[in-house]
């Protein structure tokens, strides 16, 4: 019987753990620093085991890894190198859903020498996005075609009926990662020329995105798309763009939140302060300032603008206690969002992923293909985000456990031996792309 060790019992772990508990030939250990989270996943299942694990305790971590056939790490990416080094020492295979960091990449040669697999980027984004992209690109190549352009948008959002707050967004976990993503510059290729968007201008570059059957979205550039020319093996492409989807209003609101200084993570002393004077100081205004009126004047907008209504709804113009003796503007923003922007019981989230390929073929024809995944959470059950991250990770782990991959080292799912079986498994679970091809 195979033994799977899952490190991290967070929101995406459920679908993965249940997948393997349904397999009669696999034992599953779930390890987390919070024992109740691990126990909630294994329950009383005869092949499930929950353990308390602090990742700072390397001896305990190594002991758990030693007894496993495969390790799936679902903890924040900063912990993956520690887990990977111990997997290397014990010659154990590893699967993660995170981007390959430089620290992880540096272990490639050692992993190959040890004959083990470190398979990364097998969630949603990164993960399903890569797999569907490479399926489309390899399909074009198999017909002798060239990829002229690739555009991709992905978003995890409230389903339309759950879009009930002014921000058009809700959280299942900490908002910090979503908020800090707005502090990255973006790079993409348009008509063969590199476009660089400074972080301060990121949200000024939103465009309306129409997807049949859904209300209009707004989309904005996501980090460095240029690296995907190499990742996807399409140096001939003249356009490459990856973006993020949100409901309308998010971009203009996050732009002003950034301008206010609320994304600053620098901690200061809050002793003797309440919310309004702290927020005024963050904006460079006097403690007693009328924040709504002063910011409207600074931003040259109507004091009754919807943008300001959103900020007021969140509580950014109100006074009140600060949540602690010290903290940062980002800490306060996160607390306010967690108080008002969580999913209510029974509400559904939604994941939308759309790829657009433009291709030219030797016979002189050209095509545009649009491939779209729309998935909804299950009321009272798994969120769409947990399914679209956890299920591809489970399918990837199953491939490794069964010895179906003939390569070793640090891998990503951009080759047919990896993405083919995973996409087939996802299709059987209802995660299906709708494809439309138009001759140009």
Q: Verify whether residue 125 is a known catalytic residue.
A: yes
Q: Round to whole Å and give the CA distance between 17 and 30.
A: 8
Phi-psi region of 121 (alpha: psi -120 to 50; beta: other; left: phi over 0): left
Q: Round to whole Å and give the CA distance between 45 and 355.
A: 40
> Which among 411, 408, 410 is positioned nearest to 422, based on CA atoms?
411
CA distance readout (Å), 228 to 119, 129, 298: 18, 12, 39
SS (H, E, C) 131-163: HHHHHHHHHHHHCCCEEEEEEEEEEEEECHHHC
Contact 187, 197 (CB under 8 A): yes
Q: Is the dihedral of CA 254, 260, 262, 266 positive or negative?
A: positive
Q: 385 is written with which tokens?
A: 């985000």
Is 9 in a helix, a strand, or coil? coil
Report residue 123: phi and psi, to 5°: -105, -130
CA distance readout (Å), 214 to 335, 374, 435: 31, 10, 16
Residue of 25, 69, 108, 125 marked active site: 125
Q: Round to whole Å and give the CA distance between 120 and 231.
A: 14
> How many Cβ atoms sit within 10 Å of the Cβ of residue 45?
15
Contact 199, 259 (CB under 8 A): no
Q: What letters, b where the CB count within 10 A reaches 16 and e where it falls short, cover 56-68?
A: eeeeebeebbeeb
Is 102 in a helix, a strand, or coil? helix
Contact 325, 159 (CB under 8 A): no
Q: Is the dihedral of CA 180, 33, 338, 341 positive or negative?
A: positive
Cα within 13 Å of Cα(316), Cβ side: 30
Is 262 in a helix, a strand, or coil? coil
Give the catalytic positions in this structure: 125
């Amino acid at each position: 019987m195979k033994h799977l060790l899952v490190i991290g019992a967070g929101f995406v772990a459920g679908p993965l753990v249940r997948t393997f508990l349904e397999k009669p030939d696999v034992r599953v250990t779930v390890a987390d620093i919070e024992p109740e989270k691990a126990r909630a996943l294994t329950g009383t299942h005869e092949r499930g085991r929950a353990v308390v694990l602090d990742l700072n305790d390397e001896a305990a971590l190594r002991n758990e890894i030693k007894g496993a056939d495969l390790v799936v790490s679902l903890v924040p990416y900063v912990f993956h190198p520690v887990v990977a080094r111990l997997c290397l020492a014990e010659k154990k295979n590893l699967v993660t859903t995170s981007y390959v960091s430089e620290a992880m990449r540096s272990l490639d040669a050692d992993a190959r020498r040890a004959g083990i697999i470190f398979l990364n980027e097998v969630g949603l984004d990164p993960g399903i996005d890569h797999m569907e992209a490479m399926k489309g690109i390899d399909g074009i190549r198999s017909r002798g075609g060239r990829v002229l352009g690739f555009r991709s948008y992905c978003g995890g959002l409230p389903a339309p009926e759950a879009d009930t707050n002014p921000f058009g967004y809700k959280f299942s976990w900490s908002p910090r990662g979503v908020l800090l993503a707005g502090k990255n510059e973006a790079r993409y290729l348009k008509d063969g020329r590199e476009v660089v968007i400074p972080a301060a201008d990121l949200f000024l570059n939103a465009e309306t995105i129409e997807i049949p059957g859904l209300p209009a979205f707004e989309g904005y550039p996501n980090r460095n798309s240029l690296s995907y020319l190499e990742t996807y093996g399409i140096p001939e492409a003249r356009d490459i763009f990856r973006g993020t989807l949100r409901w309308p209003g998010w971009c203009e609101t996050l732009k002003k939140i950034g301008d206010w200084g609320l994304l600053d993570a620098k901690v200061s002393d809050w002793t003797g302060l309440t919310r309004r004077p702290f927020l005024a100081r963050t904006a460079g205004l006097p403690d007693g300032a009328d924040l709504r009126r002063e910011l409207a004047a600074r931003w040259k907008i109507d004091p009754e603008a919807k943008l300001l209504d959103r900020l007021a709804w969140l509580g950014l113009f109100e006074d009140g206690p600060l949540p602690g003796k010290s903290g940062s503007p980002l800490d306060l923003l996160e607390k306010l969002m967690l108080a008002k922007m969580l999913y209510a019981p029974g509400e559904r989230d939604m994941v939308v992923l759309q790829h657009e390929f433009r291709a030219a073929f030797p016979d002189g024809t050209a095509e545009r293909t649009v491939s779209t995944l729309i998935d909804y959470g299950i009321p009272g059950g798994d969120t769409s985000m947990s399914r679209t991250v956890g299920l591809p990770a489970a399918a990837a782990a199953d491939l490794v456990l069964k010895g179906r991959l003939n390569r070793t080292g640090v891998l990503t799912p951009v080759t047919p031996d990896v993405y083919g079986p995973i996409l087939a498994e996802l299709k059987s679970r209802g995660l299906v792309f709708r494809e439309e091809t138009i001759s140009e």
